[in-house]
Amino acid sequence: MVYKTTNFNRSLDRNSVIPFNKPYMTGNEIANIFESYNNGVLAGDGAFTKKCHKWLEENCHIKKALLTHSCTAALEMAAILLNISPGDEVIMPSYTFVSTANAFVLRGAVPVFVDIRPDTLNIDEEKIEEAITSKTKAIVPVHYAGVACEMDQIMDIATKHKLAVVEDAAQALGAYYKGKPLGSIGHLGALSFHETKNIISGEGGALLINDAKFLDRAEIIREKGTNRSRFFRGEVDKYTWVDIGSSYLPGELIAAFLYAQLGKMDSITAARISLWNTYHEQFAEGESLKKWRRPIVPEHCQHNAHMYYLLLPSLEARESFIHYLKQHGINSIFHYIPLHSSEAGKKFARYIGDMAVTNSVSDRLVRLPLWIGLDHKMNEIVDLINRFSL
């Protein structure tokens, strides 16, 4: 059997627009998919899913990993596992993706947003305690751009107040906090393999389980509320409906694709870090001239170069920066509209304090193209950006 692939990683035409993102293919995906196809294995939890689980358990130093069809699904599973119920409160940043909050709102909980740190743009751990009430059940730190939240302080607060910690590590596979893989520090962690992340399967995610008490029930919730997984291991002689759940597992073709990507994580991360470092060095002067501020990565956080962003001095400056790059054929984009100012956020959530950092960052942040294959365009991009003036 012969299959043909287009070279997705080919270099860009000279005059084409430089896209913000371009998914990287390792080249091994098709062979894995073909193996599944050939073996007639299409439903979830086949050989490639098991290989992905083992890889994640070993590389994320975690008791159990379960593939899901998205990070959103993994967060929803976490909310069910924690028995989140109507009226419960869950503390999280407002500067995050919708799913961080929505997964808990689906269980009837109220997200309580706190402001972010001006340096890492992660939840400000100093502001968490003032948000805790008798209804608080969990804290959901989000590791923005693959830079770790202050997990020691967050875990201490959680222990003191008997709260669960769910890490939204959607952007953080391959990043570490004091040597610990992100997603493996809280009670539960959620990864994303969406096309826009570092390691991809189109749509895809995983739930990382650090607290052994969740192991059995997580399998049940993921398999439509049945004990199907135990049945296949021969632990029960029939499978039946035992709890609430949904269908959270991906099909085997997704796992086959993902396994090819996981195997290349180190080189993918290294290639991204190299691009990130080029930006960082080249934009140092602009920072000292107060044209922008560069990302800040604390010494104890090993990031994965998920994102390179600049903070412009104002909303107007950010808009003219994006416009300027667009005119020169480069796509750069802003990021989150804070959830506390979104339509659903106003309806379902509340916030603590003035959210000054969140509001300001959301107006001023711009993300630059960062994808494998961009190397030969870096000089052009950097020169153009360094020539930008208001």
Ligand X SMILES: *Cc1c(COP(=O)(O)O)cnc(C)c1O
Helices 215-222 and 71-81: crossing angle in degrees, nearest 10, is 130
> What is the nearest approach in angstroms of ligand X to the Cβ of residue 168?
5
> What is the nearest approach in angstroms of ligand X to the Cβ of residue 314?
25
Q: Are 193 and 170 in contact (CB under 8 A)?
A: no
Q: How many Å apart are CA 54 and CA 258, to the nearest integer?
A: 13
- Phi, psi (rounded to 5 degrees) for 168: -85, 95
Q: Are 166 and 187 in contact (CB under 8 A)?
A: yes
Q: Should residue 121 be labelled a site residue for ligand X when binding is judged by CB under 6 A?
A: no
> What is the nearest approach in angstroms of ligand X to the Cβ of residue 30?
22
Touching ligand X, residues 166-185 (CB under 6 A)? 168, 170-171
Q: Is the dihedral angle over the CA atoms 197, 204, 216, 263 positive or is it negative? A: negative
> What is the nearest approach in angstroms of ligand X to the Cβ of residue 134?
28
Q: DSSP assignment of 254-279, as one string?
A: HHHHHHHHHTTHHHHHHHHHHHHHHH
Residue number with CB closer to ligand X (317 or 365): 365
Residue number with CB closer to ligand X (228 or 306): 306
Residue number with CB closer to ligand X (74 or 82): 74
Touching ligand X, residues 185-204 (CB under 6 A)? 192, 194
> What is the nearest approach in angstroms of ligand X to the Cβ of residue 78?
12
* Local structure of residue 238 (DSSP, 8 states): S
> What is the nearest approach in angstroms of ligand X to the Cβ of residue 322?
20
61, exposed or middle or buried, with CB in 10 Å at 0-12, 13-18, 19+?
A: middle
Residue number with CB closer to ligand X (72 or 227): 72
> What is the nearest approach in angstroms of ligand X to the Cβ of residue 242?
26
> What is the nearest approach in angstroms of ligand X to the Cβ of residue 125?
17
Q: How many Å apart are CA 223 and CA 132, to the nearest integer?
A: 33
> What is the nearest approach in angstroms of ligand X to the Cβ of residue 283?
23
Which of 96, 184, 198, 278 is the binder for ligand X (CB under 6 A)?
96
Q: Should residue 278 be labelled a site residue for ligand X when binding is judged by CB under 6 A?
A: no
**By rule CB under 6 A, what string of x and - marks binding of each residue 198-237 to ligand X?**
-------x--------------------------------
Which H/E stretch holds residue 321? helix 315-327
Q: Should residue 93 be labelled a site residue for ligand X when binding is judged by CB under 6 A?
A: no
Which of 97, 176, 177, 257 is the binder for ligand X (CB under 6 A)?
97
Neighbours of 6 (CB within 10 A): 7
Residue number with CB closer to ligand X (196 or 320): 196
Residue number with CB closer to ligand X (123 or 385): 123
Q: Is 223 helix (H, G, I), strand (E, B) or coil?
A: strand
Which of 99, 201, 227, 304 is the binder for ligand X (CB under 6 A)?
99
Q: How many Å apart are CA 231 and CA 49, to the nearest integer?
A: 17
**By rule CB under 6 A, what string of x and - marks binding of each residue 72-91 to ligand X?**
x-------------------
Q: Should residue 71 be labelled a site residue for ligand X when binding is judged by CB under 6 A?
A: yes
Q: Are 119 and 296 in contact (CB under 8 A)?
A: yes
Helix and strand totals (H; E) in the chain? 14, 13
Q: Should residue 100 be labelled a site residue for ligand X when binding is judged by CB under 6 A?
A: yes
Q: Is the dihedral angle over the CA atoms 214, 215, 219, 220 positive or is it negative? A: negative
Binding site for ligand X (CB under 6 A): 70-72, 96-97, 99-100, 142, 168, 170-171, 192, 194, 205
